[in-house]
Amino acid sequence: MTIPMICIAILGALCFVLGLNVSAARTKAKLGSGCPSDPKDPLHKAIRAHANTAEYAPVLMILIYIASQAQMASWVLWTMVVATACRLLFVAGILLPRSMSRPNPMRFIGALGTYITGVMLAVAVFIQGLG
């Protein structure tokens, strides 16, 4: 299996695992819909982790896949790995702290890394399209 496909698999699995986590948290909270507003609430944190992943992971997966279809520079490959790691770090930054009410380094680095690597992958695909 190639590194891009491993990154895509990790991002896809992350989305489904986090979805399952939301379902489990809903069952435990006995809440079929809606979201508590308390940033300490496990269901609130589960929903935010899943929603954010559902926003960014699919775009990253598509960019990774397209970039992997041509000969790529090593920086593109490393960008794929860092993008995937940043998504995992971001999720950890939501789920592990007691509360989401305060910023934390994992969430900050994960978010910033996602933005930077996402733009880099978009540029790589753009360059590939020119080429």
Instruction: Kindly list the domain boundaries of the chain, sorted by start residue.
Output: 3-29+42-130
**pLDDT band (50, 70, 90) for residue 1:** low
Tokens of 67: 């970039």
Given a cut of 80, whether residue 61 has pLDDT beyond it is: yes
Q: Which CATH class is domain 3-29+42-130?
A: mainly alpha
Is the Cα torsion angle 104, 107, 110, 112 positive or negative in sign? negative
How does the average pLDDT of the chain come out, rounded?
93
Which residues, in sequence order, are CB contacts of 50 under 8 Å at separation 6+? 15, 18, 19, 21, 22
Query: 29-43, 61-75, 98-112: which has the minimum mean pLDDT?
Result: 29-43
pLDDT greater than 80 at residue 111:
yes
d(CA 82, CA 80): 6
Q: pLDDT value at position 118?
A: 98
What integer is the mean pLDDT of 102-113? 95
Q: What is the pTM of this model?
A: 0.91
Confidence of residue 49 (pLDDT cuts 50, 70, 90): very high
Over 90: is that where the pLDDT of 33 sits? no
Q: Which residues have a Cβ under 8 Å from the Cβ of 107 and sit 6 or more positions away?
A: 90, 93, 94
